[in-house]
Amino acid sequence: MMNNLKKPFLEFLLNATICTVLINFLQYHDWIKSLKFGAAFGLAMSIFYTFILPKFKKKQ
């Protein structure tokens, strides 16, 4: 069970961190808004990389 959650969690942390820092410096200049946006983006990308993308790779 823990190995199943390790990859999505690492994807979430990586994408959320990068997105939060970039959005803070480029658009909002407010850490609270940037953290909210980064968390939403990180969640979406971790779901995409973990569940959706492997289905497309298997078809090819």
The domain tally of the chain equals 1
What integer pLDDT is reported at residue 54 of this predicted model?
87
Range of the domain at 12: 2-58
- The residues, any chain, with a CB within 8 Å of residue 13's CB and separated by 6 or more, are 42
pLDDT tens-digit map of 12-58: 999 999 999 999 899 888 999 999 999 999 999 999 988 888 888 77
Residues, the chain: 60
Q: How does residue 60 score in pLDDT terms, banded at 50, 70 and 90?
A: low
Give the Cβ contact number of residue 28 at 10 Å.
Answer: 15
Which pTM does this prediction carry? 0.81
- Could you tell me if 4 and 51 are in contact, meaning their C-beta atoms sit under 8 angstroms apart? no
31's enclosing H/E stretch is helix 31-47
